[in-house]
Amino acid sequence: MSRRKWLGGNWKCNGSKQFITELLGHFNKVTTKSNNLDVVLFPPSIYVQHTVSELTSPVFNVGVQNVSQPKNGAFTGELSTSMVKEFGVNWSLVGHSERRHIYKESNKDVLEKLKVLQSQNMNAVVCVGETLEEYDKGLTEDVLEDQLNGFIYEVKNWDLVVVAYEPVWAIGTGKVAKYNDIVCLHNFVREHIQCSIGDVAEKIRVVYGGSVDKHNCVDISKLDGVDGFLVGGSSLKPDFLDILKVLN
């Protein structure tokens, strides 16, 4: 099945208003929108409005890196889906490894956030992946199965979900998983979803995240089962456009 490609740029806790304006000056030069590619930028929440206002290219969408479980109320420091939607934002990352491991978000937390996003008809990029210790112990498939089982049975609309496989040990380290491992694990993710909930798995986009850059993206994009990328550091550079061109 031919699936629409997907590319995300996770800026994490980086940038400034001036930096973003300069970066988007490069991105705005891309004016032709592909019918077969979604591109989403994930700036820090405080810069979402600035990013939206500075973007003139029709190619890019804007998302948030995190949303709160509750919709609104007395939840200091949280960011509700209704708030971000006011800025034209319709995407959110969920379960990124830095949220899971640094902030101790559980599979239950990931599920509750996904439910809120689904209730608001917002797109979710659900991240799964193993640590280096888990990889070395041969536990990768067990970890992925556990993380996938934490949410796949509760998804009401799979058209609004992208699954990102991110080996934690490859994020921001310059290390890239072996190409054969990427193929096997992307296929594992899809096959597990198919065995669990049926043929809807064929239309789900499974993307790779783990030190993707302009040098390795060509080869990785050709791998079976890879529907795009979730990019970190390289999305903070004009080089991000080279990755976009590869998927386009």
Average pLDDT over residues 207-234: 96
Type of residue found at 193 = I
Burial (CB count <10 Å: 0-12, 13-18, 19+), residue 5: buried
Q: Which two tokens stand for residue 197?
A: 């909930």
Q: Is residue 70 over pLDDT 90?
A: no
Q: How far is CA 9 from CA 64, 99, 139, 165, 198, in A?
A: 11, 16, 28, 15, 30
pLDDT in tens, 110-143: 999 999 999 999 999 999 999 989 999 999 999 9
Domains and CATH numbers, the chain: 5-247 (3.20.20.70)
Percent of the chain surpassing pLDDT 70:
100
Q: Per mean pLDDT, which range of 31-35, 150-154, 155-159, 186-190 is the poorest? A: 31-35
> Using 50, 70 and 90 to split pLDDT, how confident is the model at 11?
very high
What's the pLDDT score for residue 130? 96
What's the pLDDT score for residue 1? 66
Give me the active site residues, please: 96, 166
Question: Which residue pairs from 194-202 have beta carbons closer than 8 angstroms and sit at least 24 positions apart in sequence?
Answer: 196/148, 196/149, 196/152, 196/153, 197/152, 197/153, 197/155, 200/158, 202/1
Residue 13's contacts (CB-CB under 8 Å, 6 or more residues apart) are 44
Residue 94 bridge partners (DSSP): 126
